[in-house]
Chain A
């Protein structure tokens, strides 16, 4: 955006701070988005006052609409911590972003009263809008990131309960995968498989994906990487339980499994593993009494 902006916003805020603050708080208390069950008024007052303080600091820079600039760091930190706590408390992104957006009205009111020319007013209103909109979007981003962190934590906990690596036979590991394999989970699962291969010094692993409804490009790539990594270690991976739908999806997505051995069922994969080890299953001859 532009360089030095001559703006009256800081002076207006300084001169009419109390009035802006009161109007802003009144605005928030009156809207339905405040959630009085989750936040107290004195807490809100403090947050608002600090906001204005840091806002003034941000307005001191030369490129005031660049909120990535270090002058805006204190305000970004304040908004981050407010957003994070509100997100975990259960506020929606709209409810939290309203904290910033509801500041517009009281500020614009004072700007209007202070300007004698409409040009200066238009410019200041635009600058204020740009800044406050960016801050509002920033809040939404932090909100999303916080939610993602919660979900990631939950996923890891869930992962602990599913997809254990089992020893099917001496030198043969099995990994029955249940459920949707997103990128993160696939990585974790594959890492643990390779770890177990090393620990047990098993030469073969059967990754069974019968219980996997869909495989996307990223997951297939992780699968391939795992097979390649196992190969570098000196082990072989067989993928079993590839259902027709998944096979079709992979073809459509252009995923090439190359030399990877795939089997329709875990049973045929196991047979393959035995053959590879030079083992054969035969029935026990009945002994005569």
Chain B
């Protein structure tokens, strides 16, 4: 269960309905090679949903950012990916979950750009701009759950 939720974008109506949750897939994020696998997976899903080439690139890049964040900042975790369908549109949803230390200052993390210096940016701010919906939640028991959605 989620305790605190920072919602950055207003959900479009009907977005909560996953009409078929049985089609989701779980990918572990425990080591670097998992990120490569996730990129492939996301690319496949995106292509199947009919996203054009540029949008596929954006989705894979966002997934790369977020899974790296899960691995490096969250100490490992997993990604759940699913095609979602509302009666108005279809899209891709990815949920990144870790049991790490959590994000102390979410607002700061989200506005944190890409410092060309030390590079402490978590990559969240950038990933946020590549998707339509972006939600960061604190996981009960510690950790972070990041849910992103892009509509086709």
Contact = CB atoms under 8 A, between A and B. Distances in A.
> Is A–B contact present in the complex under a CB 8 A cutoff?
yes
Nearest to B16: A68
Contacts of B13: 68
A150 to B, nearest CB: 15
Q: From DSSP, what is the main secondary structure of chain A's interface residues?
A: helix
> Chain B interface: which size bin?
under 10
13 contacts: A68-B14, A68-B17, A70-B17, A73-B17, A73-B19, A76-B14, A76-B87, A77-B87, A80-B87, A80-B88, A142-B88, A145-B88, A191-B54
Contacts of A70: 17
Contacts of B17: 68, 70, 73
A125 to B, nearest CB: 25
A73 B18 CA distance: 11
Given A73-B17, A76-B87, 4 more contacts: A68-B17, A73-B87, A77-B87, A191-B54
A88 to B, nearest CB: 16
A103 to B, nearest CB: 20
Interface in B48-93: 54, 87-88
A80 B16 CA distance: 18
Nearest to A145: B88
Contacts of B87: 73, 76-77, 80
Contacts of B16: 68
Nearest to A194: B54
Contacts of A80: 87-88
A77 B86 CA distance: 9
B140 to A, nearest CB: 24
Interface string B1-32: 00000000000011011010000000000000
Interface in B19-47: 19
A185 to B, nearest CB: 15
Contacts of B54: 191
Contacts of A142: 88
* Residue with the greatest number of chain B CB neighbours at <10 A, chosen from A76, A77, A142: A76
Nearest to B18: A70
* Residue with the greatest number of chain A CB neighbours at <10 A, chosen from B17, B19, B87, B88: B87
Interface string A116-130: 000000000000000
4 tightest A-B CB contacts, nearest first:
A80-B87, A77-B87, A76-B87, A70-B17
Contacts of B88: 80, 142, 145
B35 to A, nearest CB: 23
A259 B14 CA distance: 43
A142 B54 CA distance: 27
B26 to A, nearest CB: 23
A68 B19 CA distance: 12
Contacts of B19: 73
A214 to B, nearest CB: 26
A282 B54 CA distance: 43
